[in-house]
Structure 1
Amino acid sequence: MVAVTPVGDGHYLVCLSPGFFRGIAAGDVIAYDERNKSAQVVERGGNVAVQVFHAGIPGDTVESLKRNAMDIGGRVDGELDSLVVLTFPVRVGFPAIESILAGLPSDGVEWEYGNVFDEQGEPLAWWQDAT
């Protein structure tokens, strides 16, 4: 499930960055293909999605992550027992985002960008037009 709002012509505004759907972030406008269960970005919203998967780390570490993300202009778009979904305006910059994530424990944490790389691991580079 992805939180969207219809905007007409079969297009949807993504309201919250998804935790399990790659390639999109909050603020993007997408065309969704119900039959293939796929989304095509029509317009980028200028946000970077980050999924942080964690297990066995203290709750105060997770709270610190969320607080640090908000301190630099990010927001928490979703949370499960072992997942935090963050959204950052691209203007925050990748170094600032990665600095926050570098403060997480190396054991029990994996994170990934949700809309920065394609399926082959190549940068999508949409942010070059957004900055």
Structure 2
Amino acid sequence: MQALQVIELFAGTRPDGQAVVEQLRVKENADNTFTLVTSPAFVQGIARGDTISKEEKSKEFNLVQRGGNLCIRVYSRDNTEALCEAITPALEKLGGDLDVETDRLLVYSIHVSCGFTAIEDVLNKAMAKFTQAAWVYGNVYDPADGTTPLNWWQAILAPE
């Protein structure tokens, strides 16, 4: 079994122009690609199970293959403890996992085959109770505009 590594990926630019870099746990593959072990909190367009490539010194990446997971980020102005207790069991019943938990952020990975409706029902019910929180998908919309669906899931969900 190969040991986990940590790589740094570019996640965006702060208002002051400084780069935001996120450290992600990965498994390095024999072909020098990396498979994400957790979904990122800030890097857009990828999720746990995706395979990426990157140059050794670069913090930019190329998506090689989708793993089929959705990345869900839940942000809160309040502490996330009660929110986590409300959402996590419901998403776990759908097959989801909590990848990142901080005082103000939760990041989940869940396979797209669970269905957008079931996932969104869980999240929207929680947001009705926790009004200081909001959720977003991290790999559903084009990072360039934030609104155009990437539609990568169609190939995964399409009957053969």
Aligned to 2:90: 68
- In 2, Cα distance between equivalents of 1:112 and 1:41: 20
Q: Runs (4+) of structure 1 moved beyond 3 Å?
A: 33-36
Aligned to 2:51: 29
Q: Which shifted more, 82-91 or 98-107?
A: 98-107
Residue segments in structure 1 that go unaligned for 5+ positions in a row: none
Please list the CA deviations of residues 57-76 of structure 1 after superposition, one character each: whole Å capped at 9, or x if unmatched.
Answer: 67333211111110111111
- In 1, Cα distance between equivalents of 2:83 and 2:151: 31
Kept after mapping to 2: 8 A contact 1:48/1:90? yes
Counting only pairs closer than 5 Å after superposition, residues 7-22 of structure 1 correspond to structure 2 as 7-22=29-44
Aligned to 2:156: 130
Aligned to 2:14: none
RMSD: 1.6
Please list the CA deviations of residues 21-61 of structure 1 after superposition, one character each: whole Å capped at 9, or x if unmatched.
Answer: 11110111001245552221101001101010112267333
Residue segments in structure 2 that go unaligned for 5+ positions in a row: 1-22
Kept after mapping to 2: 8 A contact 1:46/1:127? yes
Cα separation, partners in 2 of 1:58 and 1:111, compared to 1, 3 Å:
closer
- In 2, Cα distance between equivalents of 1:2 and 1:61: 24
Please list the CA deviations of residues 85-130 of structure 1 after superposition, one character each: whole Å capped at 9, or x if unmatched.
Answer: 0011111010011001101235211211011111212111110000
- In 1, Cα distance between equivalents of 2:149 and 2:55: 24
SS at match of 1:104: helix
Cα separation, partners in 2 of 1:58 and 1:78, compared to 1, 3 Å:
closer
Higher relative contact order (CA 8 A, sep 6+): 1
When Rg is computed on C-alpha atoms for both structures, the one with the higher figure is: 2
SS at match of 1:97: helix
1:113 aligns with 2:148: no
Counting only pairs closer than 5 Å after superposition, residues 46-61 of structure 1 correspond to structure 2 as 46-56=68-78, 59-61=81-83
Q: How many residues align?
A: 131
Give me the TM-score of the superposition, normalised by structure 1: 0.91
Which residue identity is paired with 1:56?
D
Identity over aligned pairs, percent: 34
Kept after mapping to 2: 8 A contact 1:56/1:108? yes
Aligned to 1:87: 109
